[in-house]
Amino acid sequence: MASQVDAVYIYLLLVSGAMTALIFIAVAVLSIKYRRQPGREAVQIEGSTILEVSWSIIPFFVMVTFFIWGAVIFFKERTPPADATEVYVVAKQWMWKVEHMEGQREINELHVPTGQDIKLIMTSQDVIHSFFIPAFRLKQDVLPGRYTTLWFKATKPGHYHLFCAEYCGTMHSGMGGDIVVMEPQDYALWAAGGASAPLQETGMELFAAFGCSTCHRSDAQGRGPNLQGLYNSRVPLEDGRTVTADDNYVRESILDPTAKIVKGYMPVMPTFQGIVSDDQLNALVAYVKSLSQPPTGTAGLQNEPVASPAQPQNVQVQ
C-alpha cells in the first residue's frame, strides 16, 4: 500500500511541480519582458473566453485523474480482506493497548508477521486518538464509543514508528510506539511465549459470567436472540429497518440494548454501559464473532456457550 500511495504522490508532485514552474516562469518572464520602458505603452486586452474555458476545463480533467487514483487507493485501504487476522486496539490517554486473538497483550507495541493481512479493530476509552504508521502511509482515527478499523499487510521485517496523530492532551507526543514486523517463523516464536487465553475464550467466560447466556441461548427458546451465526448477518429490527450485525452493532447492543431491538423480541435487556470495560467488550465481541465461524482445527474452540449461569467468582475477569 505504501508504494501505491508514493506512486500517486509522485504523480501529484510531478504535475504540481510542472504547474508551479509554469506559473513562476510565466510571472518572471512576463514581468521582465514587459517591464516599463520609455516609449512603449501597455496594450489593453479584454480577456479571452477560449483561454478561460481551457484553463478551467483542462486542469479539471487532470484533477479528475488525481481523484480517481486517490479514491481507488482509499477504497482498498478501507476494504479489509475477509480473512484478515483481527487484532483489537484500545487507545487511552496516553497509551495503546493491543489484544491479539491468540491472547497476547501488548502496550505501545504491535507485533505482526510479514505477508499476512492484519485488521485492527480499534476503540478509545476517552478522547479521540489516531493510529498512524507513517511507513505504511496509513492512519485512522480511533473514537470513543465505537469501532473503527484499519488493515495492512506488512512486507518487510523491522521496527516502524507508531504515532498518535490526533491531539489528545498533555502527552500526545509521547503516545507512540513500535510496529514490530517479523518473519512468520519469528512471529510464531514470539506468539508462543507469554500468551494468556485466546480473546474469544475470555469472551466466552465473560459471556457466562455476566449472565448473557441465560437469555441468549443457543436454541430458539431464550428471551434474547440466538447469537449463533449472528455476526455479519442481516438483522431485521422491530422498527422495520434491517441492519448488518458488524462489530459496532454488537458493541452497541451490549452498551445500549434498546437502540436496535431485533424483530420479535422485547426490550428487556439491561444496559452494560459502565459495567463492562473496553477490554471486556472486545473479548465479548470476539466471542460473538467466533459463534459465526466454522470451528477451525487450530483454534479448537467449543462454540457452545456455557449453558448454566456459571458462578461469576470462578471466572477470571481481568
Considering only residues 52 to 91 of the shown chain, the ones binding another protein according to CB under 8 A are 52, 55-56, 59-60, 63-64, 66-67, 69-75, 77-78
Q: Which of 69, 190 has the CB closer to another protein?
A: 69
Interface with another protein in residues 274-293 (CB under 8 A): none
Nearer to another protein, 164 or 285 (CB): 164
Check residue 267 for interaction with another protein (CB under 8 A): no
Question: Should residue 309 be labelled a site residue for another protein when binding is judged by CB under 8 A?
Answer: no
Among the listed residues 14, 158, 173, 184, the single contact to another protein using CB under 8 A: 173
Q: Work out the burial of residue 51: count CB atoms within 10 Å of its CB; fewer than 13 is exposed, 13-18 middle, 19 or more buried.
A: exposed
Answer left, alpha or beta for residue 44, where phi above 0 means left and psi between -120 and 50 means alpha. Answer: beta
Applying CB under 8 A, which of residues 140, 200, 213, 282 lies at the interface with another protein?
Answer: 140
Of 162 and 208, the one with the shorter C-beta distance to another protein is: 162
What 214-221 contacts at long range (C-beta under 8 Å, 24+ apart), as own/partner pairs, is 214/309, 215/268, 215/269, 216/305, 217/305, 217/307, 218/304, 218/305, 218/307
Is residue 153 packed enough to be buried (19+ CB in 10 Å), middle (13-18) or exposed (0-12)? Answer: middle
Could you count the other beta carbons within 10 Å of the beta carbon of residue 162? 23
| Residue number, 23 or 307, with CB nearest to another protein | 23
| Residue 95 interacts with another protein (CB under 8 A): yes or no | no
Residue 315 binds another protein, judged by CB under 8 A? no
Residue 34, CA atoms < 13 Å, CB-side half-sphere: 10
Q: At what angle do helices 278-290 and 247-255 cross, to 10 degrees?
A: 120
37: cell is 520602458
The DSSP letter of residue 174 is G
Of the candidates 145, 228, 260, 301, which one interacts with another protein according to CB under 8 A?
Answer: 145
Report the residue from 105, 157, 163, 238 that binds another protein according to the rule CB under 8 A: 163
- The residue among 47 and 193 lying less far from another protein, judged by its C-beta, is 47
The nearer residue to another protein, 5 or 243, going by C-beta atoms, is 5
The string of DSSP letters for 77-113 reads: HT---TTPEEEEEEEETTEEEEEETTS-EEESEEEEE
Q: Is 241 in the site for another protein (CB under 8 A)?
A: no
Would you count residue 304 as binding another protein (CB under 8 A)?
no
Residues between 187 and 226 that touch another protein (CB under 8 A)? none
Identify which range of 12-20, 112-120, 181-189, 236-244 contacts another protein by CB under 8 A.
Answer: 12-20
156 is a contact residue toward another protein (CB under 8 A) = no
Residue closest to 131 by CA, chosen among 157, 101, 161: 161
At residue 242, φ and ψ (nearest 5 deg) are -125, 130
The amino acid at 11: Y
Applying CB under 8 A, which of residues 36, 185, 296, 314 lies at the interface with another protein?
A: 36
Q: Cα angle vertex 148, ends 144, 151, to 5°?
A: 145
Question: Would you count residue 183 as binding another protein (CB under 8 A)?
Answer: no
The answer to whether 216 and 305 are in contact (CB under 8 A) is yes
128 is a contact residue toward another protein (CB under 8 A): yes
Specify the stretch interacting with another protein by CB under 8 A; choose among 40-48, 102-110, 291-299, 309-317: 40-48
Instruction: Quote the least distance from Cβ 281 to another protein, whole Å.
Output: 13
